Amino acid sequence: MPANPRTKRNPKDHTGNQKAILAEQHAEELAKRKDEIAMHQAQQKAGLDDPIALDDKGRTIQNVSEEVAVEGPVDIPPENVNIRIACDLEKVTIGQGTEFDFKEGQVYTVPLHVAQHLDRLGYVWQWL
């Protein structure tokens, strides 16, 4: 019984034939590269949970340290809060001369008034 014409490669299809030949030759390299890409994507997703601290002027503060939790009643709201942004925002002006850039899903440590303003506009995905 002859081969089904749909499963047999067309000899005139030079591009398709070259693609199949190269895929066979580089199958091991492609599998290795696929694993590298998966690891890279996992690292990027893990980095979204690391908070990025911003000051009142929208500049990044280096070396964010974890605050020690104090038990007991708190009368004063915190100066800075952690939030996760719902969408990408570029050059958001909050206050005079302050611009912020935000990346979707990233955790940011920002002043309370900035977080409240973004929350009123619906840009805060999660308070942390």
Average pLDDT over residues 37-56: 80
- In this prediction, residue 119 has a pLDDT band, given cuts at 50, 70 and 90, of very high
Q: Report residue 4 as tokens.
A: 């089904």
The predicted pLDDT at position 2 comes to 54
Has this prediction a pTM greater than 0.75? Answer: no
Burial class (CB in 10 A: 0-12, 13-18, 19+), 95: middle
Per domain, the residue ranges of the chain are: 14-47, 52-67+78-127
The radius of gyration of the chain's CA atoms, rounded to the nearest angstrom, is: 26
* Percent of the chain surpassing pLDDT 70: 86
pLDDT score of 5 more than 60: no
The CATH T-level fold of domain 52-67+78-127 is Ribosomal Protein L9; domain 1 (3.40.5)
- In this prediction, residue 58 has a pLDDT band, given cuts at 50, 70 and 90, of confident
Beta strands in 38-123 (DSSP E): 52-54, 60-61, 80-85, 89-93, 99-102, 107-111
Whether 100 and 111 have beta carbons less than 8 Å apart is answered as: no
- In this prediction, residue 73 has a pLDDT band, given cuts at 50, 70 and 90, of confident
Angle, helices 27-47/14-25, rounded to nearest 10 degrees: 80
